[in-house]
Amino acid sequence: MSLAWQQQQERGSRTSIRMMAWVAQSLGRPVARTLLYPICVYFFLGSGVARRAIRRFREQVLDSPVSWRDLIRHYHVFASTILDRVYFLRGRFDLFEIQVHGLDALDRELAKGRGCVLLGSHLGSFEVFRAVGLSRQHIEIRVLMDEENAPLMRELIQELNPSAAETVIQIGGTDTMLQVKECLDRGGVVGIMGDRVMQDDQAVVCNFLGREARFPTGAMRLAHAVRAPVVLFFGLYRGGNRYEVYLESFSEAVQLSHEQRTTDLKQWTQRYAGRLEAFCLRASDNWFNFYEFWNDSH
């Protein structure tokens, strides 16, 4: 996996995003969803790099030819989760059927009072976790994000739900670790994505879907530094208004020995890559890394 995602510009304009958010809130979800297919066709035709990357990913996962209809459907799944983010941010969870698996894994860790690191990915929707969090309103949820890479989405979140915007912790900030530790000390949850490399020297090569890809080690180093348990999260979109949320215990404590730190990092990260792979096989159309993921494609 490369740093290619950091060079990709955020798609869409401020006007179009605000217009879509207005349609979603004023005219309703059914009307907004009718606009998704023409939007998907527009981006399908205008994003050759992303289109080729998704084609190669689907061919790797499914081991079969991929048609243009398959690609349009893949874009549609992505667009659906972006649209639904508007409703999630507005607290309209009543519009959705959200089935949660493994909630006991999260409850067990939080009952210990240490907080936990919630390790997700760009497979499916991370925002749907707020539905789980709000059903347990005592849970403090903070999310580590690189807001500088998505300024339009940052503005949308600020407009739709300022309180949600305040829960974001900027990655690489001067007080990032302090904010993380304070949240965990209060028994809260800190969410982080584990599938996009931020710095090339903080990544390891893992086997992923039968090929080598670079994965970031930041989540593992964070879990080790704060001595917090790790719970995996996957929020899969299943069509219509249906989501499936999966929570899994990953580790009570990520241990990195001084003598073989690099080896330990690779083992922990490979374990994560293995679970991500398993869920990719369940829902390949939920893969939202629209760039070349494997090393041998550069």
Q: What is the pLDDT along the chain (298 residues), one digit of tens a residue?
A: 454 434 445 455 677 788 888 899 999 999 999 999 999 999 899 889 999 999 999 999 998 899 999 999 999 999 999 999 999 988 898 999 999 999 899 989 888 888 999 999 999 998 888 777 656 667 888 999 886 766 777 787 888 888 878 888 988 888 999 999 999 999 999 999 999 987 767 899 999 999 999 999 999 999 999 999 999 999 999 999 999 999 999 999 899 998 899 999 999 999 999 999 999 999 999 999 998 998 654 3
Q: Which of 216, 222, 190 is nearest to 270 (CA)?
A: 216
Q: Confirm if 203 and 217 have CB atoms less than 8 A apart.
A: yes
CA distance 154 to 147: 6
Domain interval for residue 94: 4-297
- Determine the pLDDT at residue 136: 63
Q: Confirm if 116 and 141 have CB atoms less than 8 A apart.
A: no
Sole residue written with tokens 């929570």: 247
- Determine the pLDDT at residue 135: 61
Q: Is 63 left (phi over 0), alpha (psi -120 to 50) or beta?
A: left
Backbone dihedral angles phi then psi of residue 123, each to the nearest 5 degrees: -110, 110
Q: Confirm if 139 and 189 have CB atoms less than 8 A apart.
A: yes
Q: Which residues contact 92 (CB under 8 A, 6 or more apart)?
A: none
Q: Which of 122, 74, 50, 37 is nearest to 66 (CA)?
A: 74
CB-hemisphere CA count at 13 Å for 103?
Answer: 11
* Total domain count, the chain: 1
Edge-to-edge strand ranges of the sheet holding 116-120: 97-101, 242-251, 230-237, 116-120, 189-193, 141-145, 168-170
CA distance 140 to 281: 32
Q: Confirm if 76 and 40 have CB atoms less than 8 A apart.
A: yes
> Which residues make beta-bridge pairs with 170?
145
